[in-house]
Structure 1
Amino acid sequence: MLEPGQTILYGTEGICTIEAIETLRIGGKRSKYYVLRPVYRTRATIYVPTDNELLCSRMRPVLSEPEIESLLQSAAGESISWIDDPNERKQVFAQILSGGDRRRVLHLIRMLYVRRRELQKNGKHLRIADEQTLRDAEKLLNDEFAHVLHIPQQDVPDYIRSRMEREA
């Protein structure tokens, strides 16, 4: 069981601190809840039932700096393949973003960087939906990377991009 004071990554909410484990009465039922405080949205509070396996599975340990560096190096060396069909691509991208696997998210980011660079050589741009997917993927990593690497959140996309383009 997780303990108060731990810093975790919670789904798409980002980095959170477990403030407490409390018994609360919600909907007439008394249950234990993790009380999470997002690090970058300090006015928000998230309550996660301790007995809800699905929601608790979204609470993951924060990566260490060496783990982040290893992820960036591995993502630079490989990527997922471009999918020509926009509907299929949108579906696959959505699965990657909701899956929570940071390695796959980094592979997605790398693939979109490479695709954007290829298109720019021909005076073209990524489709708006693909640009949005890139922003969403970068946002998923911003909180965690900023927290662990001690850099401002707004600098994380450039940090990722510079590391991955350098390795590519």
Structure 2
Amino acid sequence: MELKIGSRVMYSAAGVCRLTGIETKCPDGIHETEYYRLEPMRTENRSVYFIPVSTASARLRPLITPEQVYALIDSIWVRKCSWCTDRIARKNQFHEMLKSDDPEQLICMVQSLHEHQTALGESGKKLSPSDEAALRSAEQLLNEEFAAVLHMHPPDIPELVQKRLAARQT
């Protein structure tokens, strides 16, 4: 993957980031290493990340296309996602899905959590705190990337998804 200064990339630890430069650092005092300098697009995240150029392809990916965004939304109707009943295994599974930074896995995760949330709500129950945190994290990553690709604001993405799903039902 060839990255250019100014391009936007997805970095699962921080979401959508802008590549703002390449810097040479010598963290061990002996070996110089080139790093991509990444700045998260989230306004509340003022961190800066340095990713070694040599390992960047394993940790960064280009943003998906608008066509891929709409295909992912449309796939919600046909996608079948299983629910892991073991709480600890599910927590580990969701952690791995979040780390994978795969939009298809994140959509599946969000879908299964929303279905479970609906089923729990019918009996007056709520998601566990770890499931709720996983849902928020996955939705944040998806909303952020979809918004960046579609030139929207992340809070507007759930409405876009709902409208698109409603239009497909008719």
Give TM-score, length-normalised by structure 1.
0.84
Flag the 1:166–1:117 CA change in 2: closer, same or farther, 3 A: farther
Instruction: Tell me how far 1:91 sits from its aligned partner.
Output: 1.7
Q: Which residue of 1 aligns with 2:49?
A: 46
Matches within 5 A, 1:3-82: 3-28=4-29, 29-41=31-43, 43-51=46-54, 53=55, 55-82=56-83
Percent sequence identity is: 31
Instruction: Tell me how far 1:161 sits from its aligned partner.
Output: 5.5
Instruction: Tell me how far 1:118 sits from its aligned partner.
Output: 1.9
Output one character per residue of 1:58-113: Cα deviation in whole Å (capped at 9) or x when no partner: 11011111110101111332132112221222121222111111101101101111
Flag the 1:43–1:18 CA change in 2: closer, same or farther, 3 A: same
- The answer to whether the Cα contact below 8 Å between 2:12 and 2:98 also exists between their aligned partners in 1 is no
- The answer to whether the Cα contact below 8 Å between 1:38 and 1:45 also exists between their aligned partners in 2 is yes
Secondary structure of residue in 2 paired with 1:63: coil
Output one character per residue of 1:30-56: Cα deviation in whole Å (capped at 9) or x when no partner: 1111111222247432111112x2x43
Q: Which residue of 2 aligns with 1:91?
A: 92
Q: Aligned partners of 1:118, 1:167: CA distance in 2, in Å? A: 23
CA RMSD of aligned residues (A): 2.3
| Paired residue type of 2:127 | L
- Farther-moved stretch of structure 1 (112-121 vs 59-68): 112-121
- The answer to whether the Cα contact below 8 Å between 2:16 and 2:42 also exists between their aligned partners in 1 is yes
- The answer to whether the Cα contact below 8 Å between 2:16 and 2:41 also exists between their aligned partners in 1 is yes
Point out where structure 2 has 5 or more consecutive residues left out of the alignment. Answer: none
Q: Aligned partners of 1:81, 1:147: CA distance in 2, in Å? A: 29
Flag the 1:108–1:43 CA change in 2: closer, same or farther, 3 A: closer
Q: Aligned partners of 1:89, 1:115: CA distance in 2, in Å? A: 12
